[in-house]
Amino acid sequence: MSERVFKYIGTRPIRHDGVDKVTGRANYGADLTLPGMLHGAVLRSPHAHARIVSIDTSAAEAVAGIKAIVTGKDFPETTAKLALGEAAIDLHDIADNVIARTKVLYGGHAVAAVAATNPDAAREALSKINVVYDVLKPVLTVDQATAPNAPILHDAMVTKGVKDAKGPTNVAARMELKRGDVEKGFAEADVVVEREYRTPTVHQGYIEPHACVARFGEDGRAVVWCSTQGPFAVRDQVAAIVGIDPALVKVIPSEIGGGFGGKIVVYLEPLAVALSRKAQRPVKMVMSRDEVFKASGPTSGTKIRVKIGAKRDGTVTAASASLYYEAGAYRGSPAGAGMACAYAPYKFPNFFIEAFDVVVNKPKVAAYRAPGSPMASFAVESTLDEIARELRLDAVDLRLKNAAAEGDHAPYGPAYGPIGVKTILDAVKNHPHWSAPLGRNQGRGLALGFWFNGGMNSSATVLLNPDGSAAVITGNPDIGGTRAAQALMVSEELGIPVERVRPIVADTDTSGMTDVTGGSRVCYATGMAVINAARDVREQLRARAAKIWDVDVESIKWEDGQAIPPPGVEKAPHPLGVADIGAKMAHTGGPIVGRASLYAPMAGPGFGAHICDLEVDPETGRTTILRYTAFQDVGKAVHPSYVEGQIQGGAAQGIGWALNEEYVYNPSGLMENAGFLDYRMPVASDLPMIETVLIEVANPLHPYGVRGVGEVPIVPPLAAVANAVRQATGIRFTELPLSPPRVLAGIEQASRQPVGVS
């Protein structure tokens, strides 16, 4: 497989949707206007935690231009569950999150929505809706939520996974993973390091706010145009939450301006459909940036305690961890994923990990790129860095000593197939970056990261034109170049130039059912469906050639985009190319359409290692990233530019998480920095070029060896940065972000201590 010589895979053609996107022609979620369209707006809770006593909309209904108002009463109770992304999601909670019924659980929680002929009227109406709240005390952290007599978010909540648990509680679930004998392992260790870490709530930070247009027709059918990672997921959520038959809902995905996991769960779409049903006119809804921060789905703030013991030679003998992940207002943090990822790069003989899913009065968390893994990796890789320091071992050598390899069991169970951990670490060691000199106040950090990579449902259709060109249709919105990747796969299978393949993202009535663009699954799983659909076309081409030559189809070879007849065929012309056979379609059996659908197994696991060099200004606490190199086992890079782009973008997001990004709350539980000025994401002047090293250890589950690549690169940066700051300052920071005030406070505190802190 890895020896296969590719003609198109691995090249870097210009993406098919590129011209539309550099000229401004591409249509995103907020770009659609329909005749008679109304403008929707949402009234949001000004309290972090309160009971809704009453909602009076009568004054709002009298505002000129108001056509519809909905509240929680307009939506049915639902108990349905939906397999979404990497977890099954409780639609009762999603519905309650879309619009509160009895309680508001975070500042920004929707309580009513209006549709008006213009945005000004919609805003005026919102100001005239009178909501009476019984304000309750909020809980904002794991510690507050688990304290005795803590305010309770959900009166019926008991802890799942605990025998005979009694409620009510804010701990939604407890999980554990273990192997071997941890106590014995720690007893055998020469050095044991234990630390407690904290990471803040952070947001995906996609530049395009959530946006949709919904039209509910007289025939009871709803059409939803929206920016989403999963049109089929939107269809099913909308149907269940609004209370209509999914067969009557069509979702047309727009181009999507970033998602990173945050555009899978619905927020606006059910409101827009319900408003349109009441008004019998199309309704457009677009979130403001303030709403995106306060009312979409960031990822968990965490508290993680890690303890690792090792022998003098670096062999880890035991490891334990307790992971507390904030779920936000409803159960469902990625604590379980964090638990499975924490020690995944290593073959530790003994470990015990417990994880807790804890509700707090913050927005309900959504998926964010490798959900749960970056925080766990931050804690584990920081602790391993301390072990290496205690033992005076090279950080690469310590990790090589414990690295998982093919045949070792993942902490979450199955034995690994071929994986690239050791290959990556060898590449780190041999890279000039690892041994480059450092200056004063500078430090270098290394960290590993892991993500499972998803599989799931995918469908693809390949249409062949008589001129030998083709179209490939899937239902996965293209967030980062998947159209180009899919076209390359069709080119590879059929031997036609990539410019003659048109990749199409279709709606829910046009594409076969396909799961979300998420889980790093599109190039892998939908890619397999595309390859199979193209092979279906190829087999039909062989059959047509057999007909033309009047020979047995089995005797026909397919090479480099051509059907080759068996020896002795006199009938010209031969060989026959795709266009030759296409031209004869009508006389050999009609149009040629290839199709494939599959449920892909969980993809080959992905690993990466990042090296970060930085300098800390001791006067201001400001950290400047000087050099950054990211190594990753990508299986097989289909379009290397977009693989590099995934790695560079993931690294940049992780650097932002490490250095500056955090939700800041006031004591009432309201977010104080809901804007890009104060929620400080990396800008171009904050970063150096990010060098990528693509390592290709073929994934045996995929015909080309492809692995998912999108999520792994956000995992290592948190600890890579923290470990570099450790070297630059001598201080082990255990709480993110490493913003200038925090670093400066650490430096000042250390300088007051007579003895060195390292």
Partner 1 sequence: MKLHIETTINGEPAEYLCEPHETLLSVLRNGVGLTGTKEGCSTGDCGACSVLLDGRLVPSCLVLAPEAQGRTVTTIEGLARGDRLHPLQQKFLEHAALQCGICTPGFIVAAAALLDKNPNPTETEVRYWLAGNLCRCTGYDKIIKAVLDSSAQLQKAAV
31 is a site residue for partner 1 (CB under 8 A): yes
Is residue 251 within 8 A of residue 232, CB to CB? The reply is yes
Report d(CA 747, CA 733) in Å as an integer. 10
Q: CB of residue 672 vs partner 1: minimum separation in angstroms? A: 15
Q: CB of residue 123 vs partner 1: minimum separation in angstroms? A: 11
Written as six digits, the tokens of 331 are 């159960």
Determine the interface stretch with partner 1 among 14-22, 154-162, 397-405, 592-600 (rule: CB under 8 A).
14-22
366 is a site residue for partner 1 (CB under 8 A): no
Of the candidate residues 11, 510, 597, 641, the single one contacting partner 1 (CB under 8 A): 641
Of 475 and 650, which CB lies nearer to partner 1 in the complex structure? 650
Of the candidate residues 255, 354, 580, 711, the single one contacting partner 1 (CB under 8 A): 255
Q: CB of residue 475 vs partner 1: minimum separation in angstroms? A: 18
17 is a site residue for partner 1 (CB under 8 A): yes
Q: CB of residue 692 vs partner 1: minimum separation in angstroms? A: 9
Of the candidate residues 4, 7, 21, 178, the single one contacting partner 1 (CB under 8 A): 21
223 is a site residue for partner 1 (CB under 8 A): no
Q: Which residues contact 163 (CB under 8 A, 6 or more apart)?
A: none
Of the candidate residues 543, 579, 681, 750, the single one contacting partner 1 (CB under 8 A): 681
Using DSSP bridges, classify how beta strands 249-253 and 222-226 pair: parallel, antiparallel or unpaired: parallel
Report d(CA 693, CA 518) in Å as an integer. 23
Which amino acid is it at 51?
Answer: R
4 is a site residue for partner 1 (CB under 8 A): no
Per-residue x/- track, 94-123, partner 1 (CB under 8 A): --------------------------x---
Of 583 and 681, which CB lies nearer to partner 1 in the complex structure? 681
Of the candidate residues 173, 234, 252, 256, the single one contacting partner 1 (CB under 8 A): 256
Q: CB of residue 479 vs partner 1: minimum separation in angstroms? A: 5
HEC string of 117-162 equals: CCHHHHHHHHHCCEEEEEECCCCCCHHHHHCCCCCCCCCCCCCECC
Rg, the chain, Cα only? 27
Report d(CA 121, CA 60) in Å as an integer. 10
Of 316 and 614, which CB lies nearer to partner 1 in the complex structure? 614
Of 27 and 430, which CB lies nearer to partner 1 in the complex structure? 27
Q: Find where tokens 């999150």 sit.
A: 97
Q: Find where tokens 């002929």 sit.
A: 117
Is residue 278 within 8 A of residue 272, CB to CB? The reply is no
23 is a site residue for partner 1 (CB under 8 A): yes
DSSP output for 292-359: HHHHS--B--EEEEEEEEE-TTS-EEEEEEEEEEEEETSS--THHHHHHHHTTTB--SSEEEEEEEEE
Determine the interface stretch with partner 1 among 199-207, 331-339, 528-536, 697-705 (rule: CB under 8 A).
199-207
Residue 39, sorted as left (phi over 0), alpha (psi -120 to 50) or beta, turns out to be beta
Report d(CA 258, CA 264) in Å as an integer. 11
Of the candidate residues 480, 606, 608, 703, the single one contacting partner 1 (CB under 8 A): 480
Of 12 and 178, which CB lies nearer to partner 1 in the complex structure? 12
302 is a site residue for partner 1 (CB under 8 A): no
Phi/psi at 366 (5° precision):
-120, 175
Which amino acid is it at 62?
Answer: A
Is residue 516 within 8 A of residue 556, CB to CB? The reply is no
Of 455 and 682, which CB lies nearer to partner 1 in the complex structure? 682
Of the candidate residues 14, 586, 745, 757, the single one contacting partner 1 (CB under 8 A): 14
Report d(CA 412, CA 666) in Å as an integer. 38
12 is a site residue for partner 1 (CB under 8 A): yes
Which amino acid is it at 678?
Answer: D
Of 599 and 676, which CB lies nearer to partner 1 in the complex structure? 676
Q: CB of residue 210 vs partner 1: minimum separation in angstroms? A: 12
Of the candidate residues 447, 614, 651, 712, the single one contacting partner 1 (CB under 8 A): 651
Determine the interface stretch with partner 1 among 322-330, 433-441, 678-686, 697-705 (rule: CB under 8 A).
678-686
Q: CB of residue 48 vs partner 1: minimum separation in angstroms? A: 23
Q: Which of 401, 405, 411 is nearest to 343 (CA)?
A: 411
Q: CB of residue 8 vs partner 1: minimum separation in angstroms? A: 16
Of the candidate residues 206, 348, 416, 631, the single one contacting partner 1 (CB under 8 A): 206
Of the candidate residues 40, 185, 200, 257, the single one contacting partner 1 (CB under 8 A): 257
Using DSSP bridges, classify how beta strands 470-474 and 501-505 pair: parallel, antiparallel or unpaired: parallel
Of the candidate residues 243, 246, 258, 417, the single one contacting partner 1 (CB under 8 A): 258
Is residue 253 within 8 A of residue 505, CB to CB? The reply is yes
* Other Cβ atoms within 10 Å of 560 Cβ, number: 9
DSSP output for 550-576: TS-GGG-EEETTEEEPPTT--SSS-SE
Cα 595 off chain centre by = 28
Helix residue ranges, H only, 197-268: 231-242
54 is a site residue for partner 1 (CB under 8 A): no
Q: Which of 609, 612, 653 is nearest to 634 (CA)?
A: 609
Site size with partner 1, rule: CB under 8 A: 60
Determine the interface stretch with partner 1 among 181-189, 419-427, 545-553, 638-646 (rule: CB under 8 A).
638-646
Is residue 431 within 8 A of residue 705, CB to CB? The reply is no
Is residue 613 within 8 A of residue 598, CB to CB? The reply is no
Of the candidate residues 11, 146, 288, 315, the single one contacting partner 1 (CB under 8 A): 288
Determine the interface stretch with partner 1 among 407-415, 442-450, 559-567, 637-645 (rule: CB under 8 A).
637-645
Of the candidate residues 53, 59, 207, 415, the single one contacting partner 1 (CB under 8 A): 207
Q: CB of residue 656 vs partner 1: minimum separation in angstroms? A: 9
Of the candidate residues 75, 216, 260, 452, the single one contacting partner 1 (CB under 8 A): 260
By the 10 Å C-beta count (0-12 exposed, 13-18 middle, 19+ buried), 225 is classed as: buried
Contacts of partner 1 in 393-452 (CB under 8 A): none
Q: Which residues contact 294 (CB under 8 A, 6 or more apart)?
A: 44, 106, 107, 108, 363, 671, 674
Determine the interface stretch with partner 1 among 22-30, 163-171, 410-418, 506-514 (rule: CB under 8 A).
22-30
* Other Cβ atoms within 10 Å of 87 Cβ, number: 15
| CA angle at 206 for the pair 205 and 212, rounded to the nearest 5° | 130
Of the candidate residues 200, 205, 345, 561, the single one contacting partner 1 (CB under 8 A): 205
Write out the residues near partner 1 by the rule CB under 8 A: 12, 14-15, 17-19, 21-28, 30-31, 33, 120, 204-209, 255-260, 286, 288-289, 479-481, 639, 641-642, 644-646, 648-653, 675-677, 681-687, 689-690
